[in-house]
Structure 1
Amino acid sequence: MEQARSTITKIFNGEPHSYTRFNLTQNMEGDSSQVEMKLSSDVDEEAGGNGVGDHLNHNSARKPYVTQRIGRTPKNLCFLVVTTLLIFVIGYLVGYLMHRKRDLPPRPDVSVPRSDQVVLHETGAAPLMDWEDVKKLLAEKLTATKFEPVFSDFSSVNHQAGSPGDEDLANKVINRFKEYGMDTWTDEHFVKVQDPPISGSNRVLFKNRKEERPKGFLSYSANGTVTGTVLYAHYGQENDFMLLQSRNINMTGRVVLVRAGRISFAEKVANAAKLNASAVLIYADPTDYSIGDSTQLFGHVHMGSGDPYTPGFPSFNHTQFPPVRSSGLPNILAQTITAAMALNIVRELGGQTAPTEWKTYHKLGDDSDTITVEVNNVLTEKKINNVFGVIKGFVDADRYVVIGAQRDAWGPGFAASTVGTGVLVELARSISEMVKNDGFKPRRTIVFASWSAGEYGSIGATEWLEGYLSSLSMKAFSYINLDGVVTGRSGFKVAGSPLLHSLILSTLKEVNPQEDLLEPMKLDNPSYPFMAFSGIPSVSFGFSSDSDYRYFGTVLDTREALNTVTSNQVPQLAVTSAQFAGHIALRLVHDHLLRLDLGKYEKTLLFQVAQINGKVKAIQRVKAQQLPKALTVHWLMSAYGSYSRASRALASDIQNSDLDDIEKCRTINDRIMTVERNFLSPYVSPKDSPFRHILLGSGPHTITALSKHLDAMRADNPEADTDLFHNQFALLTWTIQGCANSLAGDIWSLDNEI
């Protein structure tokens, strides 16, 4: 249309009358046609030039070219009108057809589906395998007879972290992964660990009479020599020390003697350090551990995980980081002694009789029970390797579940590491075969990890988490721990994130491992850093005895010892453990939506918030001056309400979702994955408080610490700080609100009530 108008304008406005050619190409009904228009005129060679500038001169006396040629007769004027109208109609039609062509859809092509063809949605399983068939396939591949040679192949007398034996096992694991057709890689770290003195020894001298030089040791103890009086403190738990405090016993400078068990070595030492003790001696009491009077104990006392000399960041290269120490390192001496050494001390203790709650005949010790403790441990740097194999998913390959087991041990470590490594390798083989040979196509990825330096406090696993924290928190949606999966046969214990509780219970029904028990996750659990440091829902489990496995942390952890406590059922129990881990992993990579239960955290939060509310009101009734006037629990309750509504809204979205919509499923899964991660307090540094989880972590930022602070205020404890409490209260509230906002999804879906 514009071209036609331009042509008319040129004719009537005296454009240069020269020979002009232009083509109008129109594709009509798929055919190409060409219209050629020629506008010809005689070039007037008047003295004024070629007339290009004259027609732009408004003062020109010349007549327009057309008027001159045609004249002003009626016949000519009629011809002019008809010609003009004809040109206008042609121009209009040309413009209309060109405009319509732009609006028409393209012609059908072989690469474009016809409108009557059914467009199939990719579900990622092609087709999705029935869950019952998945379980059946796994059960067929996991057999006791296949575990026997694996245990033999991965048994080692000496495979302490960073040793040649440890490296040899790493090579065996990665070669197995390659044999199964998996992609593999190695993660190398240089970590600082504390070992017993190479020359000389640690020393214990009681009443200046008999000197003992134990071979066992506790890594990360403070070094030096102290002399004090012995104080027997049962298991060294907080309530044990509270009973001693209730008797007005001064613990400053005392050397505390405690029994192994119930809590970790690190917690025992930390509890004693809080009360200004100078050293801690730990032994295996014969009533708890029938391991012989002379058996040495090994362990660590870092109140945390990972390399304590690179807290919060990875040990890739120490030269890149300033010299720092973890706040979890003790500033007092810690040493293990044998049962025989301990009993020699206990028999001679004087002073008060132990509390009746302890049900023991021991006395607590008095000023005459002097003892000297000397620790000369050596800090060394070791290279450790974590090794990995991966089975990639077919839809969301960048979302993965991690299955891991430690590879190192203080001695043979059959229960501590060999069984877990065997289960790891067998699961890798079985699932790889399911994918290669049986048509199973996981939607998401499975990563198999073999960690080193687990005995020093999950160093290998934690360094990996620290090294890739930013990417793992967005991609890893669960961790399954295989350490210690067989330490007995009388019961099956499971500890895991509340998000996994429903999946755990349904899996227990499928596997049916006799009696089962769901218990809280402890600080020394290898899964703990995944959950409390990285915000990755985690689970640990295993067959156990009525009491703790007696051979952990000793050189007696052999295959023969484990056979004794399991009645030679280790392979059979390993099969059930592998099935439990496999069912959880496969369910998480098989289903369209992640089976993580948001309702569990809603109930946990409700209980904790209600408890805080009750304590605040109790203080306000009796000691209102203890709390700031502006303090109200309303905002905390409102934050919980936001989380509750966001959780239920997501549950509704899940219920109404189209499982064939890949992007919709991915969006929902990503919202689910944020929950655990967003319970990590953003207001504390992972360097100073690595376990930032406000519900399951440790430190002043947790809701448990807030509750204890209220108890201290109510009891007029001088350590209670009103301003500090107000600050902790506000930050906790906003952490919960932030989790609710993230769970809600899109920014326009946020609950801004708070």
Structure 2
Amino acid sequence: MYLFHRCHIMSKGRYILLAVVCGAVAFALGVIIGWFSKPETGSVLTDEDRAALDRYRASIEDADEAISDHILANIDAERIRENLRVLSAKSHMAGTPPDHEMAELLRRRWLENGLDEVRLVPYDILLSYPPLGREGPNNTAVTVDGADPAREYEDTRTLHIEPEYQDDPDAVQFFNAYSPAGHPVGDLVFANYGRLQDFDYLKQVGVNCTGKIVLMKYRSGGRGTKAKNAASAGAIGAILYPEPADTNEPGGKVYPDGWNLPGTGTERGSALLEPGDPLTPGYPATEFAYRLPEEEITVFPSIPLHPIGYNDAQEYLSHLDGDIAPAGWNGSLPITYRLGPGFTGDWSGRKVALHVYTNTTIRRVYNVVGMIKGRLESDRYVMLGNHYDSWVQGAIDDTSSTAISLELTRVFGGLVRNDNWRPRRSIVFAAWGAEEFALLGSIEYVEQFTDIIKERMVAYINMDIGVSD
């Protein structure tokens, strides 16, 4: 019984071994036959197979380091410098003729550089201007018993820019866009950064802002928000200044001898409470779009506001009466910061008069949009954008980025024009208009093309102030 069982197992093992050996021989024979009987390489590929292979090869071309190396090696710093010199030769505030000339120049140069197509995309937007020309009347002044024009002190309005640009007729005076016009007169109160907690503190210590002109520092909040907070506290006018402790490097030289802001300098800027065209909220400001009546707009500040330099702020603060400001409110001006209200000493009884003549008007603004069409996914977009408008010459903000993007169109366009390369996806270059007024050009574009952007935009890269010290 035992022997029979053992012999049975051995016999079964031989069968298994024989089967494995036969299978291995058959597999090897099949491989050999298949190898020597295979057709010539490529003869089994159909046209569809070849097209798929071409698409695959093209899809990895963008990852070719040689292309990246070529782009980096051909970006010319001297060309960027020359672009910057040309583009910042004169002021080009949004909605003005020089601004339109800038848009047309970019359109022409981008086409010359080899982009497949370039369009000017127009919008009719509500913009805000002071009386244009450097000698306009927007200002602050200290008056005798509120009488005007009997002024004891008037703020400095000299622009103090490079001599060759000093007489630029398009260099707009200091102003805050979308400030309502007005001529309030009242005692001065210092309100630090104009935050809600700053006005709460003034109320706690018994400083009443009702009927007053409020002086506030820039930073820690938007211009419109500061004016809104001041109005909520009862103020009838607002003045903003750049505190040198916030803007200047300690011990550094002021412009033009260094980077620090001079005492006569200040910020132009928008006081709009929300970005986008105020007349067409949520939809694009195209030519025939419905527009809200201006009296229904709720994104304007309700009181006049105006920017001054820190030299003028020092004059006002050095004569201010009232309690000493808390330590956290102090800056670096060589004075004792006080809260007010009103003046003391030889300015006792004097008032501050605010003169704002800013007005609003609908102007045409252009976005410049150019494209290099993609080879495989031409309906998928990678966008590089920056704004091209500036308050004045804008060599830093943001003509520096415009100069760089212009050079990039030359390098990328050259690759395409010479048939050396074409991207997998479409590359879109955008130069936005009216950014300084509250991102107007870019927001109107997004409102017009929202669905396409959501479905087809792969990436967006933004440039703003493309320089560093």
* TM score, norm. by length of structure 1: 0.46
Deviation at 1:232, TM superposition (A): 1.0
Q: 1:300 aligns with which of 255, 258, 270?
A: 270
Structure 2 counterparts to residues 509-528 of structure 1, below 5 A: none
Matched letter for residue 329 of structure 1: F
Q: Deviations 1:502-521 (Å, cap 9, x if unpaired)?
A: xxxxxxxxxxxxxxxxxxxx
CA distance in 2, matches of 1:312, 1:115: 49
Structure 2 counterparts to residues 96-245 of structure 1, below 5 A: 120-121=52-53, 123=55, 126=58, 128-129=60-61, 130-182=63-115, 183-197=117-131, 201-208=137-144, 209-210=151-152, 212=154, 215-245=173-203
Q: In proportion to residue count, which structure has more helix?
A: 1
- Paired-residue identity, %: 28
Deviation at 1:216, TM superposition (A): 1.5
**3-state DSSP class of the match of 1:153?**
helix
Q: Deviations 1:252-300 (Å, cap 9, x if unpaired)?
A: 3332211233443233323333434322101233443543333354221
CA distance in 1, matches of 2:56, 2:206: 67
The answer to whether structure 1 residue 309 and structure 2 residue 272 are counterparts is no
Q: 2:359 aligns with which of 371, 375, 378?
A: 378
Q: 2:114–2:416: 8 Å Cα contact kept in structure 1?
A: no
Matched letter for residue 212 of structure 1: E
Counterpart for residue 251 of structure 2: none
Q: 2:188–2:212: 8 Å Cα contact kept in structure 1?
A: yes
CA distance in 1, matches of 2:55, 2:83: 36
Q: 1:218–1:334: 8 Å Cα contact kept in structure 2?
A: yes
CA distance in 2, matches of 1:298, 1:116: 61
CA distance in 2, matches of 1:263, 1:117: 60
Matched letter for residue 365 of structure 1: G
CA distance in 1, matches of 2:231, 2:176: 15
Counterpart for residue 54 of structure 1: none
Q: 1:236–1:271: 8 Å Cα contact kept in structure 2?
A: yes
Structure 2 counterparts to residues 589-608 of structure 1, below 5 A: none
Matched letter for residue 419 of structure 1: S
The answer to whether structure 1 residue 364 and structure 2 residue 339 are counterparts is yes
**3-state DSSP class of the match of 1:273?**
helix
Q: 1:463 aligns with which of 429, 444, 454?
A: 444
CA distance in 2, matches of 1:479, 1:245: 46
Matched letter for residue 359 of structure 1: N
Q: 1:230–1:366: 8 Å Cα contact kept in structure 2?
A: yes
Q: Deviations 1:134-189 (Å, cap 9, x if unpaired)?
A: 43222112232332332233232221222232222222211121113221111112
**Aligned alpha-carbon RMSD (Å):** 3.0
Gaps of 5+ in 2: 1-43, 145-150, 158-172, 249-253, 255-260, 344-349
CA distance in 2, matches of 1:329, 1:425: 35
Counterpart for residue 281 of structure 1: 239
Counterpart for residue 344 of structure 1: 315
Q: Deviations 1:196-240 (Å, cap 9, x if unpaired)?
A: 135962343335352536542111012223233322122324444
The answer to whether structure 1 residue 267 and structure 2 residue 225 are counterparts is yes
Q: 2:176–2:270: 8 Å Cα contact kept in structure 1?
A: yes
Counterpart for residue 333 of structure 1: 304
CA distance in 1, matches of 2:387, 2:49: 53
Deviation at 1:436, TM superposition (A): 4.4
Q: 2:182–2:355: 8 Å Cα contact kept in structure 1?
A: yes
Counterpart for residue 250 of structure 1: 208
CA distance in 2, matches of 1:253, 1:279: 8
Q: 2:324 aligns with which of 348, 353, 363?
A: 353
Counterpart for residue 514 of structure 1: none
Counterpart for residue 403 of structure 1: 384
Q: 1:404–1:450: 8 Å Cα contact kept in structure 2?
A: yes
Kindly tell me: are residues 394 and 273 of structure 1, through their superposed partners in 2, closer, same or farther at Cα, counting changes over 3 Å?
Answer: farther
Count of paired positions: 378
Structure 2 counterparts to residues 474-493 of structure 1, below 5 A: 474-486=455-467, 488=468
Kindly tell me: are residues 117 and 476 of structure 1, through their superposed partners in 2, closer, same or farther at Cα, counting changes over 3 Å?
Answer: closer
CA distance in 2, matches of 1:124, 1:175: 35
Q: Deviations 1:521-579 (Å, cap 9, x if unpaired)?
A: xxxxxxxxxxxxxxxxxxxxxxxxxxxxxxxxxxxxxxxxxxxxx3xxxxxxxxxxxxx
Deviation at 1:413, TM superposition (A): 0.9
Matched letter for residue 305 of structure 2: A
Deviation at 1:251, TM superposition (A): 3.2
Deviation at 1:477, TM superposition (A): 3.5
Deviation at 1:337, TM superposition (A): 2.0
Kindly tell me: are residues 426 and 124 of structure 1, through their superposed partners in 2, closer, same or farther at Cα, counting changes over 3 Å?
Answer: farther
**3-state DSSP class of the match of 1:372?**
strand
CA distance in 2, matches of 1:116, 1:155: 53
CA distance in 2, matches of 1:165, 1:210: 38
CA distance in 2, matches of 1:293, 1:434: 48
Kindly tell me: are residues 326 and 444 of structure 1, through their superposed partners in 2, closer, same or farther at Cα, counting changes over 3 Å?
Answer: farther
Q: Deviations 1:24-44 (Å, cap 9, x if unpaired)?
A: xxxxxxxxxxxxxxxxxxxxx
CA distance in 2, matches of 1:189, 1:394: 31
Q: Deviations 1:382-427 (Å, cap 9, x if unpaired)?
A: 2222111101122222221221122222221100122111111112
* TM score, norm. by length of structure 2: 0.72
Structure 2 counterparts to residues 19-168 of structure 1, below 5 A: 120-121=52-53, 123=55, 126=58, 128-129=60-61, 130-168=63-101
**3-state DSSP class of the match of 1:204?**
strand
Q: Deviations 1:344-374 (Å, cap 9, x if unpaired)?
A: 2111111111111233430011256742323
CA distance in 1, matches of 2:236, 2:193: 17
Larger radius of gyration: 1
Deviation at 1:118, TM superposition (A): 7.5
Deviation at 1:242, TM superposition (A): 4.5
CA distance in 1, matches of 2:430, 2:207: 48
Deviation at 1:195, TM superposition (A): 0.9
Kindly tell me: are residues 278 and 156 of structure 1, through their superposed partners in 2, closer, same or farther at Cα, counting changes over 3 Å?
Answer: same
**3-state DSSP class of the match of 1:250?**
coil
Q: 2:138–2:355: 8 Å Cα contact kept in structure 1?
A: yes
Identify the structure with bigger relative contact order (alpha carbons < 8 Å, sequence gap 6+): 2
Q: Deviations 1:112-146 (Å, cap 9, x if unpaired)?
A: 96699788356465251235334322211223233
Matched letter for residue 311 of structure 1: P
**3-state DSSP class of the match of 1:137?**
helix
Matched letter for residue 349 of structure 1: L
CA distance in 1, matches of 2:283, 2:375: 32
CA distance in 2, matches of 1:261, 1:318: 38
**3-state DSSP class of the match of 1:366?**
coil
Kindly tell me: are residues 131 and 267 of structure 1, through their superposed partners in 2, closer, same or farther at Cα, counting changes over 3 Å?
Answer: farther
